[in-house]
Structure 1
Amino acid sequence: MSTLHYWNYPTEIFCGAGALDLLAQRCALAGMRRPLLVTDPGMLELPPLRAVRAHLDAQGVDYALFHGLSGNPSLDEARAGARVFADGQHDSLIALGGGSALDAAKGIALLSRDPHGLERFEWAQMLEHFPTLADYPALGLPALIAIPTTAGTGSELGREAVLTDTVQGVKKVIGHRELLARCVILDPALTTGLPAKLTAATGMDALTHHLEALFSPLHHPMSAGIAVEGVRQVKLHLENAVRDGNDLVAREGMLVASASAAVAFQKGLGGAHALAHPLGARHHLHHGLLNAVLLPYVLLANRSAIESDAARLARYLELDDASFDGLLAWVLELRGRVGIPDTLAELGLTGEDAALIGELALADISSSETNALPLTAADYSRIYRNAVAGKLI
């Protein structure tokens, strides 16, 4: 029996060791004649990029490479990529890497058809003008194939991109229904070289996505069900992936957990993301690591609204203590076992900008409006200071 899985949810997904071998075939089926391969500079000497390039070269695919990205890709970097896309007469995109490459590729795709797309389809504009997918104007965006090499952001299955506005020092969520990838390739062999620390941070990012989606007050039973199972997948596989980076079962399990999270968080995100976005934009810290540190502090802030759901989840996870306290203890234990710091102070943050971060977190309506509890800017400031000081109260 083949170990390669095929799903459509709602885009094509090929999951399993060796899935990369289908890339050229899927390019041809999508009519991709000259794709732009988007990745980040950190991938240039690593095996995943070499494997992808060798495959494309062997299959005679005409492509070019763009890697002008940072860890938190910016609006300007997406614009630079769009110029490369146009100058090279490219007709499609392949995104290889973590969330930075996937999000940048989406930004490039949008700009290739609408030079004002990053403004027109920013989150607040989307909410006001495009309440359903059918309301979006047809743009004919270029086909995109997404190949994640980390298991955290879930961007491969999302219609949104998170890009940093370096002038304002904030992250902006951009979205369009046509940004959904034409095909997603989840090949665990491409993630085996990910260092243990990044494996832990990205895996905890996936866990944060699932938990915040589950506890969002929006009613979306389908996404809630995926969130519950996604947490179980993290429980099954994250520690093994951190312990042994060559464990393909664990690597595949985490890819599935990460991709599933993008479906789960259609239900919404919450306070960890509302804080992580401005902290990452202003202090240039890894998004997944910020979520990993912030998660328990936000869970505690939301306790009164999530206790019953947390208890049900704890029962599903078969925790000894099937309660909010049991779930929180498991999150803290998991965080410690995979080497995540306890406090933001360990990341170099002092909390001196707590008032500003609180205001920016509240203004991040893509996350703050679906937090389990309605929080004020002062609440976010307090959570931030608690996370700096390590006050789990």
Structure 2
Amino acid sequence: MTLTANWSYPTAIRFGAGRITEIAEACTAAGITRPLLVTDRGLAGMEITTRTLDLLEAAGMGRAIFAEVDPNPTEKNAAAGVAAYRDGGHDGVIAFGGGSGLDLGKVVAFMAGQTRPLWDFEDIGDWWTRADADAIAPIVAVPTTAGTGSEVGRASVITNSETAHKKIIFHPRILPSVVICDPELTVGMPKSITAGTGLDAFAHCVEAFCSPHYHPMSHGMALEGMRLVKENLPRAYADGSDLKARAHMMSAAAMGATAFQKGLGAIHALSHPIGAIYHTHHGTTNAVCMPAVLQFNRPAIEGVIGDAARYLGIDGGFDGFCSFVDNLNVSLGIPASLTALGIENPDIDRIVAGALIDPSTGGNPVEMTAQNTRELLLKIV
């Protein structure tokens, strides 16, 4: 089977090894002639980034880059990116990188033409309608990890630097116009990032599959996404040059992000405030939280997880699935607790308060309260 395709769900996706060479063509398709490439500091000087800039320059599109992006991007990063966009006279954004570069790039394109402050567009009710939709710049997204799936999302997660709360900025038109999923760009990921981002994709699929909301398309996609992670993440971790495994993980990442339209849950509700306060890697934090959250939700998900286990070829139903998750974490070097992750004496009250106001709580199969969320968090510490 040749792992090359053109997809249009949920947006136009150019999938396959080597397809970064189509970056200028993708910009043209999106209506961009003077792109600003937005990425994080770590990627700014890497070969995959300089090569992409070379391709843009050769096509007469310049080589503008903005890389002042924190691992958990903030409103300050967004303001600086918007200033760079406006000062450079750009007409579109290439969001390039892992979750931080993708999320910040999308927000730069979104905010470049707005007059209201960023937090006016938080994902609350119909706040997104406050935006001037016609002023949103076109976006081409290029993921360089296989985890967040932000390349196929209609939202970005931005940390409020003053309150240390992660906020979701939403608008239907920040869904990128064109996505290039080139697994060759992920070959250089360190093992720890391969593990953390891959388990982020797995967490998206697990939580979407368990969400009580009705969305059968996402439900089926979440199940197949779990299978792709189960079969390919250990391979990609063991051999970073395994392009077939890398390609399947890129698919799983996009599938997980599409699936969680059905909902997320306590894993993300906890990892968002933990990451905002302690600056931990999002996917790794999800993986640390997952075993305890599965047990927390057991009364509501034992049957559906049993169904997933059968599909995945895991014996033992719910308990077998949980054992699989535990063993996968160990095999990928995931810390067993927040303390092992490097967080000593975490502020329990602050994390619980952040979790209860996180939008992900609404998709958890078991209602989250101050008391049971505190008890859950204490099992992760």
- Are 1:347 and 2:368 counterparts? no
Aligned to 2:70: 70
In structure 2, do the counterparts of structure 1 residues 346 and 64 end up closer, same or farther at CA, with 3 Å as the change threshold?
same
Letter in 2 for 1:60: G
Give the conservation status (yes or no) of the 8 Å contact 1:154–1:260. yes
Partner Cα separation in structure 2 for residue 169 and residue 234 of structure 1 = 31
Give the conservation status (yes or no) of the 8 Å contact 2:10–2:258. no
Q: How many residues align?
A: 381
- Are 1:337 and 2:331 counterparts? yes
- Are 1:141 and 2:154 counterparts? no
**1:117 Cα deviation after fit:** 5.2
Aligned to 1:58: 58
Give the conservation status (yes or no) of the 8 Å contact 1:4–1:18. no
Q: Deviations over 1:338-390 (max 9, x none)?
A: 111111111122344112211110011x20111111111222222222111xx
Aligned to 1:239: 234
- Are 1:182 and 2:186 counterparts? no
Letter in 2 for 1:348: G
Structure 1 residues without counterparts, runs of 5 or longer: 389-393
Give the conservation status (yes or no) of the 8 Å contact 1:110–1:118. no
Partner Cα separation in structure 2 for residue 140 and residue 10 of structure 1 = 22
In structure 2, do the counterparts of structure 1 residues 114 and 135 end up closer, same or farther at CA, with 3 Å as the change threshold?
closer
Letter in 2 for 1:139: D
Letter in 2 for 1:12: A
Aligned to 1:206: 201
Partner Cα separation in structure 1 for residue 361 and residue 345 of structure 2 = 20
Aligned to 2:150: 155
- Are 1:33 and 2:33 counterparts? yes
2:168 counterpart SS class: strand
**1:13 Cα deviation after fit:** 0.5
Aligned to 1:391: none
Partner Cα separation in structure 1 for residue 127 and residue 61 of structure 2 = 39
1:369 counterpart SS class: helix
**1:59 Cα deviation after fit:** 2.2
- Are 1:384 and 2:377 counterparts? yes
Give the conservation status (yes or no) of the 8 Å contact 1:20–1:52. yes
Partner Cα separation in structure 2 for residue 73 and residue 15 of structure 1 = 27
Give the conservation status (yes or no) of the 8 Å contact 1:110–1:117. no
1:237 counterpart SS class: helix
2:134 counterpart SS class: coil
In structure 2, do the counterparts of structure 1 residues 222 and 33 end up closer, same or farther at CA, with 3 Å as the change threshold?
same
**1:314 Cα deviation after fit:** 0.2
**1:135 Cα deviation after fit:** 9.8
Partner Cα separation in structure 2 for residue 113 and residue 26 of structure 1 = 22
Q: Deviations over 1:287-345 (max 9, x none)?
A: 11100110111111000000110000000001122x11011111111111111111111
- Are 1:169 and 2:164 counterparts? yes
**1:128 Cα deviation after fit:** 4.3
Give the conservation status (yes or no) of the 8 Å contact 1:351–1:385. no
Partner Cα separation in structure 2 for residue 352 and residue 248 of structure 1 = 39
1:139 counterpart SS class: helix
**1:113 Cα deviation after fit:** 1.6
**1:129 Cα deviation after fit:** 4.7
**1:119 Cα deviation after fit:** 2.1
1:37 counterpart SS class: strand
- Are 1:324 and 2:318 counterparts? yes
Partner Cα separation in structure 2 for residue 192 and residue 204 of structure 1 = 17
Partner Cα separation in structure 2 for residue 19 and residue 257 of structure 1 = 18
Q: Deviations over 1:102-148 (max 9, x none)?
A: 11011111211213252222022xx2456xxx997633411100000
Give the conservation status (yes or no) of the 8 Å contact 1:358–1:379. no
Aligned to 2:353: 359
Partner Cα separation in structure 2 for residue 65 and residue 12 of structure 1 = 24
Q: Deviations over 1:216-242 (max 9, x none)?
A: 111111100000000000011000000
Give the conservation status (yes or no) of the 8 Å contact 2:54–2:63. no
Aligned to 2:87: 87
Aligned to 1:112: 112
Aligned to 2:188: 193
1:275 counterpart SS class: helix
In structure 2, do the counterparts of structure 1 residues 297 and 105 end up closer, same or farther at CA, with 3 Å as the change threshold?
same
TM-score of the pair, normalised by structure 1: 0.94
In structure 2, do the counterparts of structure 1 residues 2 and 231 end up closer, same or farther at CA, with 3 Å as the change threshold?
closer
Letter in 2 for 1:285: T
- Are 1:253 and 2:262 counterparts? no
Query: Mean Cα displacement is larger for which, 366-375 or 58-67?
Result: 58-67
Give the conservation status (yes or no) of the 8 Å contact 1:227–1:261. yes
The list of structure 1 runs, each at least 4 consecutive aligned residues, that deviate by more than 6 angstroms after superposition, is none
Aligned to 1:285: 280
TM-score of the pair, normalised by structure 2: 0.97
In structure 2, do the counterparts of structure 1 residues 150 and 83 end up closer, same or farther at CA, with 3 Å as the change threshold?
same
Give the conservation status (yes or no) of the 8 Å contact 2:153–2:175. yes
Letter in 2 for 1:118: L
